[in-house]
Structure 1
């Protein structure tokens, strides 16, 4: 590269704030109990970053822990409470406004913000948070993002945010939810795992 006069161009750092203190007012109610007996009992949420064009984009996802099904997501150039709230809004509508849901996340400022907590209160959703610095407390989300980035997202990122939205939407809502087998579902995709529950329980 030196002989050819080439220089490496690296993406800039992403703007993501980590928790600086423990949130004692929002306990870890989930306590790594990742086996859930039915849909809409526990949702998990998290935010990751994706390179698109000449900057970072931020992806918020909501996962139903029962089947590991993606029920909500949002992509933006800002990792703020609005991003997390939009993903939650999508999940709330997609799942037909369920009751008695627990929402678990890490201690990111987006999830501890007043805006997001008010949204949870409006939907009557109980909040749970990982302990500070314990990424395994939200392991299913870490696994989803690892699969997305290693199986799907191009190594050089996307050319535009529009391209990123289209491609990530297909991965999450079609391939991941409907086609990809999941070890936690005995090899079934999330949609097929939920359909199996309906056929066994007689739920329509």
Structure 2
């Protein structure tokens, strides 16, 4: 570098000043950074560089995938896309329980029908499972429980909470899918003990328990993928 400065007749101090000069603020880049930050927030942290570039371009801010990736790196943003979830096969004997509810979701008073289901949630390190009991009258949860194992103890906890919260009502029907955590002997015995009639969806038919499907869809859309399990 000393030789080059000598050849071109440039003082070394002038070169050092030029090299260390502060960069001029880039107005366009600042605007794009703000767009990336906003879009990442709107997606609840799930959008990656490709998605952010597409959304920004639709808004009229021309942006490629690689630029979006660089801006995300500058802002310290990462996509929290969930890995693929796979349920383990249950080892319980299959029990045939009729669908007594038959999609009659319009009930006339509280504690007529409770629906139950389990969903999986990515916590950032591992899968957690949320069991919820929904009263069909108000379509609001009356019991819930979380665990790292989707077993009968999880669904029994949620059902116990509903039972206590609602003052131990009688004559309730409990409807769910045919998951092993609902067909297990322990769970069925719990319902029998409290004289709760059990109803089950037909195998592989999510529409038979659509209020629960709708509840979980709304819950995940509201909270995105940011969950903490303590």
Q: Could you say whether these structures have the same fold, taking a TM-score greater than 0.5 normalized by the shorter chain as the test? A: yes
- Deviation sequence 1:77-118 (CA, Å, 0-9, x none): 110000000000000000000000000000000000011111
One of 139, 144, 161 as aligned partner of 2:229: 161
| Rounded Cα–Cα distance in structure 1 between residues aligned with 2:126 and 2:95 | 35
Aligned pairs for 1:120-131 (under 5 A) are 120-131=191-202
One of 103, 115, 129 as aligned partner of 1:58: 129
What is the CA-CA distance between 1:134 and the residue it aligns to?
0.4
8 Å CA contact 2:128, 2:149 repeated in 1: yes
| Rounded Cα–Cα distance in structure 1 between residues aligned with 2:176 and 2:128 | 20
Aligned pairs for 1:32-111 (under 5 A) are 32-111=103-182
What is the CA-CA distance between 1:147 and the residue it aligns to?
0.3
One of 9, 16, 30 as aligned partner of 2:87: 16
Please give the secondary structure, in 2, of the residue aligned with 1:35: coil
Match of 1:190 in 2: none
Task: Provide the TM-score with structure 1 as the length reference.
Answer: 0.69
Match of 1:28 in 2: 99
Rate the CA distance shift 1:19–1:34 in 2: closer, same or farther, 3 A.
Answer: farther
| Rounded Cα–Cα distance in structure 1 between residues aligned with 2:162 and 2:212 | 15
| Rounded Cα–Cα distance in structure 2 between residues aligned with 1:15 and 1:122 | 33
What is the CA-CA distance between 1:55 and the residue it aligns to?
0.3
Rate the CA distance shift 1:96–1:62 in 2: closer, same or farther, 3 A.
Answer: same
- Deviation sequence 1:155-190 (CA, Å, 0-9, x none): 3x33x412xxxxxxxxxxxxxxxxxxxxxxxxxxxx
What is the CA-CA distance between 1:53 and the residue it aligns to?
3.3
Gaps of 5+ in 1: 163-204
Report how many aligned residue pairs link the two structures: 159
Rate the CA distance shift 1:96–1:55 in 2: closer, same or farther, 3 A.
Answer: same
Question: Considering only CA atoms, is the larger Rg found in Structure 1 or Structure 2?
Answer: 2
8 Å CA contact 1:58, 1:76 repeated in 2: yes
Q: What RMSD, in angstroms, separates the aligned Cα atoms of the two structures?
A: 2.8
